[in-house]
Structure 1
Amino acid sequence: MVNVGLQVRLEAKPGKEKELEEFLRAQLSFAIGEPATTAWFAIKLDARTFGIFDAFPDETGRQAHLEGEIAKALGSAGAALLAHAPAIERFAVLAAKLPGNGEVPDSLG
């Protein structure tokens, strides 16, 4: 079940696109280790623009993720890889389809 999420937009510095892509791929193991991270995606939007999209059951899970290993790694590597600070958007999930559960968010009743 997911009720909240994050969308993070990342723009690579010129010449750092491949490094940022590799960095994002390497973060999967941290996401797998976060029990409250129900869904996590590292995405590539174009040659220099990347993102992270993730979903959580509640605000506690989302906050734990924001204080977790991926955020720490991004904080450490960000200055070398990113053209500017990540754009982080918080959102509420209105409806979701997840593998094998068929559930809807609590906010829908």
Structure 2
Amino acid sequence: MVNVGLQVRLEAKPGKEKELEEFLRAQLAYALGEPGTTAWFAVKLDAKTFGIFDAFPDENGRHAHLEGEIAKALGTVASSLLAHPLAIEKFEVLAAKLPGSGEVPDSLG
């Protein structure tokens, strides 16, 4: 079950698109090592725009992620790879479909 999440939009500096893409791919190893991170995605929205989307069961998981290795690594490379400062948005999850959650809630019939 997930209840909270984060989304981050990242725009690469001109000429840094491939480097940012490779950086994001490399962060998967860190996400896999975070027990409080239920879902983690690095996405490419267009040639220069990327994103990170992740979900957590609770605020403790989200907080641990924000203090974790991916956040530290982003802080290290942000000025060299990103055209704009990081904008991290917190959100609440209203509904989710995850692997292994095939039950239909009573509220849906």
Q: Which amino acid in 1 is paired with 2:98? A: L
Which residue of structure 1 lines up, in the alignment, with residue 86 of structure 2?
Answer: 86
Cα deviation per residue 1:62-108 (whole Å; 9 max; x = unaligned)? 0100000000000001111001111111000000000012479xxxx
The AA in structure 1 aligned to 2:85 is A
Gaps of 5+ in 2: 105-109
The corresponding residue for 1:58 is: 58
How many residue pairs are counted as aligned between the two chains?
104
Specify the structure having the higher radius of gyration (Cα): 2
Partner SS, residue 10 of structure 2: strand
Given the alignment of the two structures, is residue 33 of structure 1 paired with residue 33 of structure 2, yes or no?
Answer: yes
TM-score with structure 2 setting the length:
0.92
SS of the equivalent of 1:50 reads strand
Contact 1:78 1:85 in 2 (8 A): yes
Q: Is the 8 A contact 1:4 1:58 kept in 2?
A: yes
Q: Which runs of 5+ in 1 are unaligned?
A: 105-109
Secondary structure of 2:94's counterpart equals: coil
Does the CA contact (< 8 Å) of 1:97 and 1:103 recur in 2? Answer: no
Q: What percentage of residue pairs aligned between the two structures are identical?
A: 83
TM-score after normalising by structure 1: 0.92
Letter of the 2:10 counterpart: L
Residue 14 of structure 2 corresponds to: 14
Runs of 4+ in 1 over 4 A off after TM superposition: none
SS in 1 for 2:91: strand
How many angstroms apart in 1 are the aligned matches of 2:19 and 2:34?
Answer: 24
For the residue of structure 2 that corresponds to 1:96, the secondary structure is coil
Q: CA RMSD in A?
A: 1.2
